[in-house]
Structure 1
Amino acid sequence: MIIDSLNNIEFYKSINNDIYEGLKFIKNADPEIALGDYPLTDTAKAVVMEYETKIKNHFGYEAHKHVIDVQYCIKNTERIPWSNLQRLTPNTEYNVEKDFTFFDMKEPQGEVVIGNDIFAVFFPEDAHAPVYSDGEPGYIKKIVIKVKVQ
């Protein structure tokens, strides 16, 4: 897992081109960008979404086998608890089509608040629990960069 500032995106140019292109997309995105999918490279896309955060989500942690998630809120903030998969118990079967498994909620190993210049990168071993409010529940607009991995 990575937690970093958008001010540091040039560092990622030498690490991973898909993550770098995604971070450039995030940094240049207008907060009024339309919801939907935006292709970035052959192996990465941006997904713009919006929803209401909650005190607690109803599904627990989620994890993906074949994508890295780069997550950032362009409107407001979201708190995301996270934990390594090895500590968790699945509560659903792996969904091949949507590439996710949900896991029971357990004390997190950490949390990150995304938005206000801070983004998070979740790798396949990083279970994350989105939809949590950073304070009072409310509206967020979020960009998730989906980077394909084998």
Structure 2
Amino acid sequence: MIIDTLENAGKYTSLHPRFAKAFEYLKSIDLNTIESGKYEIDGKDLHASVSAKEGVKSEDAKFEAHNSYIDIQVCISGKEGMGWKPRAKCVDPKGEFNTEKDVIFYNDQPDMYFQLTDGQFVIFYPEDVHAPMIGEGVIKKLVVKVKI
């Protein structure tokens, strides 16, 4: 997991062959005016979605992980709390892995919580189980899905 601000995104482009294109996309758009919806960047290898939803209580947050994609989650507005735990420490899956949606949920609880605000991002790798959208009020965010 990596947490930083968009101003420092250039530091991470060498970590994955598709990160440079992902961060170029983020620089090319106006985060303040982008509408909710899905956006293709590079086919199934790189795509984004924007949402503006009411935050949830930590106990109601979905605790999830992915196998085929890395998430770059950007807070556009609001304050988004997130929970995190290494996947190796999660022992209580909630059902089977959904291959079509590339997600598995867990009943386990996060080891730690942190908060993102405007212009901050987090990168979640498949080994990062995460609980997003924790907070009060509307949280507007953008998630770039990066094919491994």
TM-score w.r.t. the length of structure 2 is 0.87
**Which residue of structure 1 aligns with residue 131 of structure 2?**
129
Q: Name the count of aligned residue pairs.
A: 145
Equivalents in 2 of 1:70, 1:86: separation in Å?
Answer: 21
| Cα contact 2:72–2:143 (8 A) shared by 1 | yes
| Cα contact 1:19–1:70 (8 A) shared by 2 | no
| Cα contact 1:52–1:139 (8 A) shared by 2 | yes
**Which residue of structure 2 aligns with residue 72 of structure 1?**
74
| Cα contact 1:57–1:130 (8 A) shared by 2 | no
Alignment partner of 1:99 is 2:102:
yes
3-state secondary structure, aligned to 2:33: coil
**Where in structure 1 are there 5+ consecutive unaligned residues?**
none
**Where in structure 2 are there 5+ consecutive unaligned residues?**
none
The structure-2 alpha-carbon separation of the partners of 1:24 and 1:57, relative to structure 1 and needing over 3 Å to count, comes to farther
Equivalents in 1 of 2:83, 2:12: separation in Å?
Answer: 24
3-state secondary structure, aligned to 1:130: strand
**Which residue of structure 2 aligns with residue 30 of structure 1?**
31
Alignment partner of 1:147 is 2:146:
yes
* 1:84-133 CA-partner distances (Å, limit 9, x unpaired): 11111201211111010000132x33323223232100000100001211
Q: Residue type matched to 1:120 in 2?
A: V
TM-score w.r.t. the length of structure 1 is 0.86
Equivalents in 2 of 1:56, 1:12: separation in Å?
Answer: 29
Percent identity, aligned pairs only, is 34
